[in-house]
Amino acid sequence: MLSRAVAHISAAALDHNLSTLAQRSGTRLLLPVKADAYGHGMEVVARRAAAHPDVWGLAVATPAEAETLARLNLGRPVLLLTPPAPEEVGPLADLGVRLPVGTLAEVDALPAHAQAHLKVDTGMNRLGARPADAVAVGRALAGRGQLEGIYTHFATADEPDLTFARTQLGRFRAVLDALPPALAHCANGGGVLSFGQIEGMSLARPGLAAYGYVPEHLRRVCPLRPVMTVRARVNQHHTVYPGETVSYGALWRAERETEVAVVGMGYADGYPRNATLKAEVLIGGERRPVLGRICMDQFMVDVTGLDVQPGDWAELWGEGDLTATEVARWGEVIEYELLTGVGGRVERRLA
Ligand SMILES: *Cc1c(COP(=O)(O)O)cnc(C)c1O
């Protein structure tokens, strides 16, 4: 079957971003490929990233993602970032997945062949051991030869004010100083871009930045390229006449004779419904408005005066003149939501 919508994944853009971020952090990368690699396709991205010299390993959020990734046998370590259920620990350890550990009970439950990364909660207050407890957990792991890494996560490193991130870093350093050497990592994309090299770190974990997106105030720090370009096909082309309306709710009314293209991607595919009456696409070499409500499987575009036929492609966002940042703004979501929301009907195609 032909695909109605395709997310083109640029290997060159991904390679460029990985090299750029590794250079900026002065470390190798532990690349987050959770949530289907931020919607880019976990297998496609993981295979490409695993062939990149600056990638040490891959990080995921759920045991199922860790299992899928480990079974690909890409020759790179896989770190699970959230605590597994007790019955998941053994199978994950058997697959070689590195496990996050934050309590002495988790240390005790760890199979002898498992490698762990001590998770320190320095202020995010989401996961891990508070600094006062982390040292004992880390010593227990080290004593058993299972302390491969030590990490924490910033709450505000992508914001202009880095005061709290620096406080978190100070707490993390105090824990590192009290433990035997291990792979230390703390920086998400915001951390890499804001701080550059952080003394004593072995790895960095940029996610969104690796896929090409950077907060406004950090755009000038280093040039990154959007990895995903989404295109959807025109399924039909027709004319509507003055006074007629288009789509649900009859929100848009033609003031003149209008050529309409129906494009095959809708909110079920991750094109945000809240972008209704704001969105534009690139079609026939121009930027043209989406007409009326965005539907589940399609939306309509004004292509008056353009040579557009069924089977042609519209570009919804990507490396060109129309970015995911813009679409996210129209849809009242952040880039993370837009990208991770790209649905299963959208084919991921590496190019
Ligand atoms: C998702 C995640 C990251 C990546 O964050 P970005 O903001 O996308 O750079 C890094 N570390 C952890 C623990 C995460 O959960």
Does residue 269 contact residue 345 with C-beta atoms inside 8 Å?
yes
Owning domain of residue 335: 228-350
Question: Residue 273 gets which letter from DSSP?
Answer: G
How far does the centroid of ligand 1 lie from the alpha carbon of residue 128, in Å?
15
Domain assignment present for residue 341? The answer is yes
Looking at ligand 1, which atom is closest to the CA of residue 192? 9
Assign 1 a pLDDT band (cuts: 50, 70, 90).
confident
Rounded Cα gap, residues 11 and 25, in angstroms: 21
Query: Which residue has a Cα nearest atom 10 of ligand 1?
Result: 188
- Tell me, yes or no, whether 101 and 250 share the same domain: no
Q: Is the pLDDT of residue 234 over 90?
A: yes
Same domain, 306 and 241: yes
CB 119 less than 6 A from any atom of ligand 1? no
CB of residue 58 inside a 6 A radius of ligand 1: no
Active site residue 119: no
238 pLDDT more than 90: yes
pLDDT higher than threshold 90 for residue 2: no
Asked whether residue 35 falls in the same domain as residue 116, the answer is yes
Atom 8 (ligand 1) nearest CA: 207
User: 51 in a domain, yes or no?
Assistant: yes
Residues in the chain: 351
Distances (CA, A) of 6 to 96, 265, 314, 344, 346: 33, 9, 10, 10, 5
Domain count, the chain: 2
Q: Note whether residue 3 is domain-resident.
A: no
Per-residue pLDDT, 76: 98
Question: Which of the listed residues 186, 215, 244 is the one where a domain comes to its end?
Answer: 215
Residue 106 buriedness (CB in 10 A; 0-12 / 13-18 / 19+): buried
What mean pLDDT comes out for the span 59-73? 98
In a domain, 245, yes or no: yes
Q: Is 131's C-beta closer than 6 angstroms to any atom of ligand 1?
A: no
CA 61 to ligand 1 centroid distance, Å: 10
**Is the CB–ligand 1 distance for residue 39 below 6 Å?**
no
3-state secondary structure of 47: helix
For ligand 1, what atom is nearest to the CA of residue 127? 13
pLDDT digits (tens, 9 = 90+) for 329-343: 999 999 999 999 999
Tokens of 297: 């499987």
Nearest to 213 by CA among 8, 77, 10, 17: 17
Q: Which of 156, 182, 215 is the last residue of a domain?
A: 215
Q: In the predicted model, what is the mean pLDDT of residues 179-191?
A: 98
Mean pLDDT of the chain: 98
Predicted confidence at residue 295, as pLDDT, reads: 98
Answer yes or no: do 235 and 301 share one domain. yes
Tokens 């007790």, residue located: 86
- Rounded percentage of the chain residues whose pLDDT exceeds 90: 99
Residues 262, 193 within the same domain: no
pLDDT of the residue at 273: 98
Q: In this structure, are 267 and 334 located in the same domain?
A: yes
191 CB-side CA count, 13 A: 27
Q: Is the pLDDT of residue 10 over 90?
A: yes
For residue 76, what are the CA distances in angstroms to 42, 198, 204, 322? 14, 23, 15, 35
Q: Are residues 145 and 279 located together in one domain of the fold? A: no
The reply to whether 318 and 173 lie within a common domain is no
- Residues at the annotated binding site for substrate? 126, 296
Residue 236 and residue 170 share a domain: no
Does ligand 1 have an atom closer than 6 angstroms to the CB of 206?
yes
Across 219-233, average pLDDT: 96
One domain for residues 239 and 186? no
Q: Which of 79, 81, 99, 156 to mutate to test ligand 1, by most ligand atoms within 8 A of the CB atom?
A: 81
The pLDDT score that the predictor gives to residue 121 is 98
Let me know if residue 303 belongs to a domain.
yes
Centre of ligand 1 to C-alpha 114, Å, is: 23
Q: In the prediction, which pLDDT does 280 show?
A: 98
Spatial contact of 340 and 38, defined as CB atoms under 8 Å apart = yes
Last residue of a domain, one of 190, 215, 240: 215
Question: To test the ligand 1 pocket, which listed residue (205, 213, 218, 334) has its Cβ within 8 A of the most ligand atoms?
Answer: 205
> Confidence band (pLDDT; 50, 70, 90) for 310?
very high
Q: Is 248 a catalytic residue?
A: yes
CATH number at residue 262: 2.40.37.10
Domain assignment of residue 145, yes or no: yes
To the question of pTM greater than 0.85 for the whole model, the response is: yes
The pLDDT tens digits for 245-277 are 999 999 999 999 999 999 999 999 999 999 999
**pLDDT tens string 87-146:** 999 999 999 999 999 999 999 999 999 999 999 999 999 999 999 999 999 999 999 999
* Residue 7 confidence (pLDDT) above 90: yes
| Residue 222, domain member (yes or no) | no
Whether residues 147 and 254 fall in one domain: no
pLDDT (average), residues 146-161: 98
We report the CATH number of the domain holding residue 207 as 3.20.20.10
Condensed to tens digits (0 to 9), the pLDDT of residues 193-224 reads 999 999 999 999 999 999 999 999 999 998 99
Give dist(CA 11, CA 44) in Å, integer: 9
Q: Is residue 112 part of a domain?
A: yes
Q: Is there an atom of ligand 1 within 6 Å of 80 CB?
A: no
Whether 157 and 237 share a structural domain: no
Of 83, 75, 77, nearest in space to 29 by CA: 77
Instruction: Kindly state the average pLDDT of the residues 49-57.
Output: 98
